[in-house]
A and B are shown apart, each in its own frame.
Chain A
């Protein structure tokens, strides 16, 4: 049985301008010890999926669909460690909140020091009594991760956990997630817009566009054989930067207004290869290979004629 199973998840916000469909029928599974990436541009709904899983959606949101989770957790790591930490509490007290109740003070302190050591925080015995403002950005994010790990979760949800950090510090934080998976079998659902981070950390990737998953693949397959035109356009932008093209590849147009109903494929208005059917009918997933599928009318499943 999968650690996490999400089926036909829908998140709709009621706003003054009318309803906004932020997540529009998303389904996926996540296995124990797996690192799954959720990529897409701003407003594609990736963070809302994490909020839905944590039960943190705001009051004006309506949630539909099924979420089955069998394990401890999940816990969540946010992008900005400064807003995730309470400025008035010491590091030790904040981590203690996430530890099991009823531990005696000495054991509790020992557990916190052990967590801080695991996160490679120098001098944990002194850090435990400090306040967030006394720490660097990278160290604060490690504290946030320590809070997420304190409950020994089977699944960690991380929303752009390294985006606010410097690149040398980011590398260190990504290593921590790898170690938690390797040593404790913890699964990670990583939201990121950085395809470099995703390439280096994830086993599998879901590509989101306008609240929908448009492609799902093992990380190697996604980068080697992207199936959906949106994924291809996204990767072309990135590789054109790496290749030193004089003019960078771009995706013309802008994402659709999620306050308006989308009848066909959400990417169709910007798609270079769209046909009439793309405007009219929402494409179903088609298999491109084992564990690899894309929601595109033009996808040819290997070995079949469509």
Chain B
């Protein structure tokens, strides 16, 4: 069943020189227990989207529904309750923890806010159980964030997010700053928590290999807009949007022989500023396939055979050229 759905959600920021639309009419759904990945590069709006989902940034337009009910119509108690159900973890765990709060205090804090009547003994018991669940040794409970490793800090952030028993965890580049072996440990932990608790994940990342590993569905964002969605395996094996193709083809492969054979699509220039998006299709200024129409009209989302959608004037439903690059024969995939 659908846990969270976004309908034409926009996020805007007021700037000195005008208004910046960071997220532009995005519609997405997350089912209970599933992982939806949001991928895209700096400035594509993926973090703003994640912050909007947890209520850290207000919606400028659009609607968000939780279990079928519009969040705007919830009474204050239900809205407060929703904050328990949707939690977030960030890229830099050290920056997201209070440097003067011990590990145990940091993990206990959400309980103090949402379950103030809990006895001290019961709170300690819950914190200890949570630390155990994220595989942190009890001995670090009294340490401060700077005295533990980056991987341990991220486990503390996860414990703090999980202690209220949320149904949706937004992970904003949660493993991007970690060393590769630590990253693997955190990914394994997230998957185990998901198996054990039926948690849904909104996994925001620019790391496409991790996305491939963790998620079932993916949405590709460019300059605030969803340009393509679909099941990860299908989208990565046969991307329909020129931006998705370029993005996938740019990922370095940890294999020197495969790297030499890799066909890369080089995009012209740098991404435009989201404060001044191009007319028509936002990707057209860097798109190798752009035509005059792309500057004139915004493409509408078209259904893809696998159930996803693509927004591109040049997309032709049949007779597509095979996708170049990394995921050509889906060598990364198991299916």
A-to-B contact residues, CB < 8 Å: 41-42, 122, 136-139, 166-172, 174-175, 193-200, 219-220, 223, 233-235, 237-244, 246-251, 254
Contact = CB atoms under 8 A, between A and B. Distances in A.
Contacts of B267: 168, 172
Which 7 A-B pairs give the minimum distances between C-beta atoms?
A196-B252, A166-B41, A200-B259, A248-B184, A244-B334, A195-B254, A136-B270
A238 B254 contact: yes
B332 A167 contact: no
B254 A42 contact: no
Given A167-B247, A234-B180, A244-B332, A199 B252 contact: yes
B181 A168 contact: no
B280 interface: no
Given A171-B264, A220-B256, A223-B255, A238 B250 contact: no
Contacts of A247: 188, 191
A137 B271 CA distance: 10
Nearest to B260: A200
Interface residues of B, number: 45
Given A196-B259, A219-B256, A240 B184 contact: yes
A35 to B, nearest CB: 12
Contacts of B316: none
A195 B254 CA distance: 5
Contacts of B151: 254
Given A250-B181, A254-B149, A241 B213 contact: yes
17 contacts: A42-B150, A42-B179, A136-B271, A170-B252, A175-B266, A199-B252, A199-B254, A199-B256, A200-B260, A234-B180, A234-B181, A242-B332, A243-B334, A244-B212, A244-B213, A248-B184, A254-B151
Contact of B187 (A235, A239, A248): A248
B184 A244 contact: no
Given A41-B179, A171-B264, A242-B332, A235 B271 contact: no
A244 B259 contact: no
A199 B188 contact: no
B209 interface: yes
A233 B181 contact: yes
Contact of A193 (B179, B257, B262): B179
B247 to A, nearest CB: 6
Contacts of A167: 41, 206, 208, 247, 250-251
Contacts of A199: 252-256, 258-259
Contact of A200 (B187, B212, B252, B334): B252
B263 to A, nearest CB: 12
Contacts of A193: 179-180
B184 A237 contact: yes
A233 B181 CA distance: 9
A248 B254 contact: no
A241 B179 contact: no
Interface of B: 41-42, 149-151, 179-182, 184-185, 187-188, 191, 206, 208-210, 212-213, 246-247, 250-260, 262, 264, 266-267, 269-271, 273, 331-334
A168 B325 CA distance: 13
A41 B181 contact: yes
B268 to A, nearest CB: 9
Contacts of A235: 254
A202 to B, nearest CB: 8
Contacts of B41: 166-169
Most buried by B among A166, A175, A220, A249: A166
Contacts of B188: 247-248, 250
B184 A168 contact: no
Contact of B250 (A170, A223, A249): A170
Given A244-B333, A254-B149, 4 more contacts: A137-B270, A169-B270, A242-B253, A243-B332
Given A171-B264, A199-B253, A138 B184 contact: no
A136 B270 CA distance: 7
A200 B253 contact: yes
A252 to B, nearest CB: 9
Contacts of B191: 246-247
Most buried by B among A235, A238, A246: A238
A254 B149 CA distance: 9
A171 B151 CA distance: 28
B145 to A, nearest CB: 16
Nearest to B187: A248
Given A139-B270, A166-B42, A167-B247, A220 B257 contact: yes
A42 B181 CA distance: 11
B184 A196 contact: no
Contacts of B149: 254
Contact of A241 (B150, B209, B250): B209
Contacts of A194: 252
Most buried by B among A198, A244, A254: A244
A294 B154 CA distance: 33
